[in-house]
Structure 1
Amino acid sequence: MKIVTWNVNSLKVRLPHVVDWLAENKPDALCLQELKLEDKAFPAAALEAAGYHAVFIGQKTYNGVAILSPHPFDEATVVRNIPGFEDEQKRIIAATVGGVRVVCGYFPNGQAVGSDKFAYKLEWLAALTGWLREELKTHDRLVLAGDFNIAPEDRDAHPDWKDEIHVSVPERAAFRALLDLGLIDAFRLFEQPERAFSWWDYRMMAFRRNFGLRIDHLLVSPALREACLGCVVDKAPRRLERPSDHAPVVLELA
């Protein structure tokens, strides 16, 4: 089973990349973030033609998340946004795929440490953690996938990264709170190259210089740990013309 997370930074712009990638890689679940589309503009027909069903929640210009799968979804299993957390921003969708509970999230950026957006990020993370604690009681096979906007350790950020955002103490503590639920960073179950990142700024030739961050993650529940066969960043889509600034991260499960 293959579960993938990819911040596409506008599904409208990146749809050809996504369709091609689906054809080449055939994931069982592709978790997309930053759709930047209202629901009525979601390209369901194009994805169906590519052999993929979709559940999604979007909004104009910002945010938006989706899960794509060749397997039909049971709408009764789908959750949109964090239950009990009042939020106009569309950042969470969850569904069950092949017996695995897949939670796709586009975590808040936070803008700058100490800002109102940073406070919202920490509140959102606390609400997500509380909800996942309950989800894990009923779904022992669970994957939390998405753009976390957090580089959890120093090795997940280029040594010359000077900005506090994404690497601050409160953000990393919030990431550890997710791990304290029993979730496991699948990427770190395997030997990885040094400076393995998933996001690179469009500016300053950042991708060419590998000046990036690892902020796209797949966390697995303890019941899935032994099923993990590999987890890698697929840099190929980042090399395409008009790419997303993120690369897909691919998890293989037995």
Structure 2
Amino acid sequence: MKIATYNINGINGRLEILLRWLKEADPDIVCLQELKAESRSFPEQEINTAGYNAIWVGQKSWNGVAILSKTEIKELHRDLPGEDDEFTHSRYIEAFTGGIVVGCLYLPNGNPVPGPKFDYKLRWFKRLAKHAKNLVDRELPVILIGDYNVMPTDLDTYKPEKYVNNALFQPEVKKAYAQLVKQGWTDVIRKLYPDEPIYTFWDYLRNAYEWNAGLRLDHVLLNKHIAPRLVSAGVDKHVRGWKDASDHAPVWVTLTSPGANR
């Protein structure tokens, strides 16, 4: 089974790219972020024609998340449990599909620092951690996947000194991510590539992609029940090089079938 996440950065403007990648990569389940489209504008027909069912939560011009699957999708949550009095964004959707609980997330950016957006980022992270703690020990396979807007360590950025004042690289944010993983989650990229700089995002400016001046922002976390099924993981970096592509590249993980021998 192949599961992927892709911050599409505008699903309607980049629908052709998404469909091209779906055909090439052939994932079983896909989580999308930054739809940048109201729910009524989601291209359901085109996604269905490509062979996928879909659930989504849209938002005009910003945010938005979706789960695509080749099999039936049972929606579980359209937001994280708990509420935020200051901001209401479309950033989390959770479903049961392919025998797996899939949580698709788009964590707030948080810039500038300090400020209300950064405070919101930390509050949102706390809500995520609280929900994740209820999922990590479940006797069900659970995956939390998406754009975390976090560079967990120096290894996850081409130039750490450049980001010391960035919300994605603040000590509080890195600590929040580390504490989340310590609940018992497996970060698949770091599990398989513990010492290798692997990036999932390249800015549009200054030829960042051509120079491989990247960041690792998109993460795949597996709970204790599903972690033993991990086979491989990677980044479809070449997709970032397609004309008019998103500034993120798809990240994927492959898993064995339940009960299968590795």
Q: Which position in structure 1 is the counterpart of 2:135?
A: 135
- Tell me the TM-score normalised to structure 2 length: 0.92
Distance of 2:108 and 2:20 partners within structure 1: 28
> Is contact 2:110-2:121 (8 Å) kept?
yes
Q: Which position in structure 1 is the counterpart of 2:255?
A: 253
> Is contact 1:232-1:249 (8 Å) kept?
yes
Cα 1:47–1:161 shift into 2, 3 Å: farther
1:91 alignment partner AA: R
Distance of 1:176 and 1:235 partners within structure 2: 25
1:198 paired residue among 200, 204, 208: 200
Structure 1 window deviating more from structure 2 (96-105 vs 29-38): it is: 96-105
Shift of 1:136: 3.5
> Is contact 1:187-1:218 (8 Å) kept?
yes
Q: Which position in structure 1 is the counterpart of 2:19?
A: 19
Q: Which position in structure 1 is the counterpart of 2:173?
A: 171
1:113 alignment partner AA: V
Tell me the number of residue pairs that the alignment of Structure 1 and Structure 2 aligns: 252
Shift of 1:180: 2.0
Matches within 5 A, 1:86-105: 86=84, 87-105=87-105
> Is contact 1:5-1:145 (8 Å) kept?
yes
2:82 alignment partner AA: G
Distance of 2:90 and 2:71 partners within structure 1: 24
Structure 1 window deviating more from structure 2 (30-39 vs 111-120): it is: 111-120
> Is contact 2:72-2:98 (8 Å) kept?
no
Matches within 5 A, 1:226-237: 226-237=228-239
> Is contact 1:101-1:139 (8 Å) kept?
no
Shift of 1:139: 5.4
Distance of 2:186 and 2:138 partners within structure 1: 18
> Is contact 2:240-2:249 (8 Å) kept?
yes
Q: Which position in structure 2 is the counterpart of 1:85?
A: 83
Shift of 1:135: 3.1
> Is contact 2:137-2:224 (8 Å) kept?
no
Distance of 2:74 and 2:150 partners within structure 1: 31
> Is contact 1:184-1:219 (8 Å) kept?
yes
Which runs of no fewer than 5 residues in structure 1 stay unpaired? none
Shift of 1:191: 3.1
State the SS of the aligned residue for 2:246.
Answer: coil
Q: Which position in structure 1 is the counterpart of 2:245?
A: 243
Structure 1 window deviating more from structure 2 (217-226 vs 148-157): it is: 217-226
Cα 1:136–1:195 shift into 2, 3 Å: closer
Which runs of no fewer than 5 residues in structure 2 stay unpaired? 257-262
Cα 1:40–1:161 shift into 2, 3 Å: farther
> Is contact 1:228-1:251 (8 Å) kept?
yes
Q: Which position in structure 1 is the counterpart of 2:34?
A: 34
| 1:110 lines up with 2:110 in the alignment | yes
1:10 alignment partner AA: G
Distance of 1:91 and 1:161 partners within structure 2: 29
Cα 1:94–1:139 shift into 2, 3 Å: farther
Q: Which position in structure 2 is the counterpart of 1:182?
A: 184
Matches within 5 A, 1:200-215: 200-215=202-217
